[in-house]
Amino acid sequence: MPFPPGDMVAAFGRHLHFKSLEQALVDRHPEVADRVRFDDTSRLMHLKVTLSTGRSVALAQVRMGYSTVWCVMGPELDSEPSVWPLDTPDEVLVDALHAVASARITGQAVSSPWRWNESEPSDLTELADLLDARGLRVRRVAAGNRWFASGPRHAAKLDIAGGDDGCFVEAEFPDAFVRVSLKPALGWLVDVYVPEVEAWGRVDLGWNLWSRTLPGPGVPRADASVAEIVDVLGRGLKAWDLEVSGGPAEKDVSDWMEDLGVGPDELVEGSAPVDGRGSLGPLQLTETVLDQLTSYGFGDLEEGDAETPMRSQTFHIEWHNRAKNLSTPEVQRLNGLAAAAGEYVPKRLIVITTAGISRPAADFADTAKALVFWADRTTGKLMGLNSRAREAQLPDTNPAEQDLEPW
C-alpha cells in the first residue's frame, strides 16, 4: 500500500490539531460547549463558537502575505482580527476565541488583556485600559504578542513589531499620535507623531514627572508607575512641550526632526556605503548629530570646540572617522577613556562612527551600556549600531500608513 502524499498527511495533522483545540475549548470553557463547532468541510478549516444571531466567531489558520498565522475573527466584515503566531500554545488560542465569543454573546466589550490581543496582563495592557477609559482610541498593544494584521481582507498583510521597539502602546489623541514604549535598557519612552508636520518628537518625561531634564532618554520602569505615565499623557500636546526656563530647550512642534531613514544592513559586520555624494563639513555634521541626539532625549549635551565637538557631564563622546569597522578591542579602549573622563564617577560612552561595527563589538557596547551610532557623512542622519542605541532612536514609521482597512 503506497504511503499517502505529503499534503494529505499535513491535512490530517491539521484535522487532529483542530479536534484537540475543540476538546480544549470545551474543557476550559464548558459554558459554551453547546455552541462549539469544528468545520472541516469548507475550504478553510476552522473552529467556531456560534452566536444567537446565527453567525459565529472563528479560529483558523490563514495566509497573510508569505506567512501562515492563527487568526480569531469576529462575525463582522470590518472587525479587526486577532493574530497569533503558529507556535502559540493551544490554551492561549482557545482562551482568545472564548474571550471574543463571550463578548459577542453578552454584548459587552472583550475583556482585557484579550481585547488587546494579549494573553497576560502587563504594564502595557494596564496602560491601554486606562487610556481607553479616558475615551482614547488604542490602536496597538505589543507586549507578549507582537503580531498584527493590516490591509484589506483580500490582501491582508502581517506586521510584526521589532524587538528594538520594546513593548509599546499606540494611541490616537485629538491632535497627535502617541507611542508609549517600555524598552529593555532605557525604560519608559513617550514619542509623539504630529500629522500636521509629519514628524516625531520625544516627550521629556523627566521634566513632566519631576521638573528636571534627565541626561539620557528613558525613565527606568521602577521609577514611574503606569498611572504616572497616564497622568503625563493626560496633560496633552501643549503641556508636553513646556517652554520654561530650566526645562526642555524651547522648540516648536515644527522644529522636531523628520523621520530617520533605515540605514544599510551592512553597517554591522560590514562597512559604510560610498556613493560619491558630497560630505558635510565638520561643523555641519556636529550640529546635525547634536540636534538628533538632543531630540532623542540626551538632555545634557552641548556644543563644544574643535577638539571636543560635543560635551556632556554624563557621556563621553568619541568620533570614529576611520574606514575600518569598530572592533571589540577598539570599543573596549574607548570605553576605558570614557570611564577615565569622569571627574567623580565614570562617564558612559557614545561613539559616532562613519564606518561599521563587528557583532562582538556591538555586544560588548551593550554590556558596557555604551551607545554606538553610524552617521551618514552626506546628511548627518544617525542609525543605531547596537541595541541600546537603536532603542534610543525615534520611531521611523508613518502611523497613517498603519491604518487598518475594512476586512
Burial class (CB in 10 A: 0-12, 13-18, 19+), 132: middle
Q: Please state which architecture CATH assigns to domain 265-392.
A: 3-Layer(aba) Sandwich (3.40)
How many CB atoms are located within 10 Å of the residue 23 CB?
14
CA–CA dist 306, 191 (Å, integer):
33
CA–CA dist 356, 372 (Å, integer):
10
Cis link prior to 282 (omega < 30° from 0)? no
Q: pTM of the entire structure?
A: 0.84
CA–CA dist 373, 362 (Å, integer):
11
Cell numbers describing residue 398: 508613518
What does the buried/exposed string (b/e) look like for 190-227 if buried means 16 or more CB atoms within 10 Å of the residue's CB?
bbbbbeeeebbbbbbbbbbbeeebbebbbbeeeebebe
What pLDDT does residue 206 have?
94
Q: Tens-of-pLDDT digits for all 407 residues of the chain?
A: 555 665 666 777 788 999 999 999 999 999 999 999 998 887 889 999 999 888 999 999 999 888 999 999 988 766 788 999 999 999 999 999 999 999 999 999 999 999 999 999 999 999 999 999 999 999 999 999 999 987 776 677 888 887 778 899 999 998 889 999 999 999 999 999 888 778 899 999 999 999 999 999 999 999 999 999 999 999 888 888 633 223 333 333 333 333 333 343 445 554 444 444 568 888 899 999 999 999 999 999 998 887 788 999 999 999 998 889 999 999 999 999 999 998 889 999 999 999 999 999 999 999 999 999 999 989 999 999 999 999 999 998 777 666 555 44
